C-alpha cells in the first residue's frame, strides 16, 4: 500500500531492500527542493556510500493537497531513466530499484555534482554542458524515433509513455494560461501593462496555438519533457539528466527548446558582458545534436533515410520547433505559475527590467521562429533589450 515515506521509513526501506551492508550506520535527510516530490538521501556513515530515494506524492507539493497528481509519474520517471540509459547511459543516474505501488525510484546519488541552474546563477560555465546535452538529446531522440527503432516497437513504447496528467500541466501552464488572464499566472503588479499587451496579441497567440498543437499531436520521439537547467546535474567534467516524470512521445524540438530557454533566462539575469558562454552553449548544443543525430542516421534501416534532404527537413523542423518552444518557456517562466530562480532572485528594479526583456524576447522567438538560425540568439537578445 502507498504511504509517504518519512526519513525513518526511508532508512527501513533501504535496509529491507538490502541496499547497504548489514553493519551499515545509516542516516537520512529529505533534500527535495522540487515542486512535486520527496527526495531522500541515505548515507552509510561508515563508508560514505549513499543512495537517493525519490517518491512521488499524490498531490503537487507546491500547491498543496488541493492539486491531486497521479502517482504513475514515478513509474514513468524510472522507466524513462532506464530507456535513456540504454542509449546514453553516461548522462543519467543509475536506477537501482523502483516500485510502482510506493511510487519510488531508488537511484545513484549525484550530490558530488551541482544543479546546473544554481551553478549558472553563481557564474559557473560548465564547459562540457552543451556537448553532453546535445549528445544526450540526439541519441535518445534518434533511437526512440521511427528512424532508429522498429516502427511497431516504437508504437508500443509510445503507449507505455502516454502521460496525460503530466502533459496536461504543460499544456496549461506553458501553452495556455500565460497567454490568457488565468488565475494560475503569477507576476509582479508592475508588469501588468506588459502582460495585458501580451494577452491582446493575437498574432502571438495564433503562433502559440500552433506550437501547442504540435505538443499535443506530434509523437516524434521520447522526450524528457521537463529539460530545464534545474533537471541537470553538472560539474566541469560530468553532466547528468534527472527528473523525467514528464516524459512522453512528442515533437523532436521540445527538449532542446526548454534547454535553450533556460540558458536564455540565465543570460537575461547576467550583465551583458558575461553572456557569451551561454550563447556558445546554445550553438554548441545544436551543433552536437545535429552531428550526433546525423551519425546515428547513417545506420537507419528506414528506406527514407536514404532519400536526400529528408534528414535536412527533420533537422530544420527541429530547430524551428526548438526556437518556438523556447519562446513559450521564456514567457511562462516569467509570468506563469512556476518561475526560475535566475530571474526571481534579482533585486526588484533589475528583475522588472529582465522580465520585460524576457517577454519581448519570448515573443520574437515565437513569431519569427521560421526565419531564425541558431546563431541569431545573441543578436535577438540584444535587439530586445529595450
Instruction: Give the residue ranges of the annotated binding site for ATP.
Output: 37, 54, 108-110, 243-245
Closest-CB residue for ligand ADP? 34
- Tell me the number of residues near Mg ion by CB under 5 A: 4
* Closer to ligand ADP by Cβ: residue 49 or 201: 49
Taking CB under 5 A as the rule, does residue 34 contact Mg ion? Answer: yes
CA distance 161 to 77: 10
Cell numbers 529539460 correspond to 227
List the one residue from 20, 37, 265, 340 that touches ligand ADP (CB under 6 A). Answer: 37
Helix (H) or strand (E) holding 121: helix 116-121
Taking CB under 6 A as the rule, does residue 90 contact ligand ADP? Answer: no
At its nearest, how many Å lie between Mg ion and the CB of residue 37? Answer: 6
Q: Which of 278, 231, 284, 272 is nearest to 118 (CA)?
A: 231
Q: Which of 227, 247, 244 is nearest to 163 (CA)?
A: 247
List the one residue from 19, 54, 144, 147 that touches ligand ADP (CB under 6 A). Answer: 54
* Closer to Mg ion by Cβ: residue 194 or 243: 243
| Binding track over 175-214 against ligand ADP, x by CB under 6 A | ----------------------------------------
Those residues with Cβ within 8 angstroms of residue 16's Cβ, 6 or more apart along the chain or in another chain: none
Which entry of ligand ADP, Mg ion, none binds 111, CB below 5 to 8 A by partner kind?
ligand ADP
Taking CB under 6 A as the rule, does residue 93 contact ligand ADP? Answer: yes
Question: Taking contact as CB under 5 A, which single stretch among the options 66-74, 155-163, 241-249, 255-263 is the one that binds Mg ion?
Answer: 241-249
Give CA torsion, residues 305, 311, 317, 323, to 10 deg: 130
CA distance 219 to 351: 37
Cell numbers 527537413 correspond to 313
- Partners of 55 in beta bridges: 38, 104
- CA 215 distance to own-chain centroid: 14
List the one residue from 47, 101, 111, 151 that touches ligand ADP (CB under 6 A). Answer: 111
CA distance 277 to 275: 6
Those residues with Cβ within 8 angstroms of residue 65's Cβ, 6 or more apart along the chain or in another chain: 59
Question: Taking contact as CB under 5 A, which single stretch among the options 32-40, 78-86, 138-146, 193-201 is the one that binds Mg ion?
Answer: 32-40
List the one residue from 39, 174, 208, 361 that touches ligand ADP (CB under 6 A). Answer: 39
Taking CB under 5 A as the rule, does residue 33 contact Mg ion? Answer: yes
- Partners of 98 in beta bridges: 105
List the one residue from 7, 99, 109, 201 that touches ligand ADP (CB under 6 A). Answer: 109
Which entry of Mg ion, ligand ADP, none binds 32, CB below 5 to 8 A by partner kind?
ligand ADP
DSSP state of 94: P
CB 270 within 8 A of CB 240: no
CB 73 within 8 A of CB 47: no
**Binding region for ligand ADP (CB under 6 A):** 31-37, 39, 52, 54, 93, 107-111, 115, 231, 242-243, 245
**Binding region for Mg ion (CB under 5 A):** 33-34, 243, 245
Amino acid at each position: 500500500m502507498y504511504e509517504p515515506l518519512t526519513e525513518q521509513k526511508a532508512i527501513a526501506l533501504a535496509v529491507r531492500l538490502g541496499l547497504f551492508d548489514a553493519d551499515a550506520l545509516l542516516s537520512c535527510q529529505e533534500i527535495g527542493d522540487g515542486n512535486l516530490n520527496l527526495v531522500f538521501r541515505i548515507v552509510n556513515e561508515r563508508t560514505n556510500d549513499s543512495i537517493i530515494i525519490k517518491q512521488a506524492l499524490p498531490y503537487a507539493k507546491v500547491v498543496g493537497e488541493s492539486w491531486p497528481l497521479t502517482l504513475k509519474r514515478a513509474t514513468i520517471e524510472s522507466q524513462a531513466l532506464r530507456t535513456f540509459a540504454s542509449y546514453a547511459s553516461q548522462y543519467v543516474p543509475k536506477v537501482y530499484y523502483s516500485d510502482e505501488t510506493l511510487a519510488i525510484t531508488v537511484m545513484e546519488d549525484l550530490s558530488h555534482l551541482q544543479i546546473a541552474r544554481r551553478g549558472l546563477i553563481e557564474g559557473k560555465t560548465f564547459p562540457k554542458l552543451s556537448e553532453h546535452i546535445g549528445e544526450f538529446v540526439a541519441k535518445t531522440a534518434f533511437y526512440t524515433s521511427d528512424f532508429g527503432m522498429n516502427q511497431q516497437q516504437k508504437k508500443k513504447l509510445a503507449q507505455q509513455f502516454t502521460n496525460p496528467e503530466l502533459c496536461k500541466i504543460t499544456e496549461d501552464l506553458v501553452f495556455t494560461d500565460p497567454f490568457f488572464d488565468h488565475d494560475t499566472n503569477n507576476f509582479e503588479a508592475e508588469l501588468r501593462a506588459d502582460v495585458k499587451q501580451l494577452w491582446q496579441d493575437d498574432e502571438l497567440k495564433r503562433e502559440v496555438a500552433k506550437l501547442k498543437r504540435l505538443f499535443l499531436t506530434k509523437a516524434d520521439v521520447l522526450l524528457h519533457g521537463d529539460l530545464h537547467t534545474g533537471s541537470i546535474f553538472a560539474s566541469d567534467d560530468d553532466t547528468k539528466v534527472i527528473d523525467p516524470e514528464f516524459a512522453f512521445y512528442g515533437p523532436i524540438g521540445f527538449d532542446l527548446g526548454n534547454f535553450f530557454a533556460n540558458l536564455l533566462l540565465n543570460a537575461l539575469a547576467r550583465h551583458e558582458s558575461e553572456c557569451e558562454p551561454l550563447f556558445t552553449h546554445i550553438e554548441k548544443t545544436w551543433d552536437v545534436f545535429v552531428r550526433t543525430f546525423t551519425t546515428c542516421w547513417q545506420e537507419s534501416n528506414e528506406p527514407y533515410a536514404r532519400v536526400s534532404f529528408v534528414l535536412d527537413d527533420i533537422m530544420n523542423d527541429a530547430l524551428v520547433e526548438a526556437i518556438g518552444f523556447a519562446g513559450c518557456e521564456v514567457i511562462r517562466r516569467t509570468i506563469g505559475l512556476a518561475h526560475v530562480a535566475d530571474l526571481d532572485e534579482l533585486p526588484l528594479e533589475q528583475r522588472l527590467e529582465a522580465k520585460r526583456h524576457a517577454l519581448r524576447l519570448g515573443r520574437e522567438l515565437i513569431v519569427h521562429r521560421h526565419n531564425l538560425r541558431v546563431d541569431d540568439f545573441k543578436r535577438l537578445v540584444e535587439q530586445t533589450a529595450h
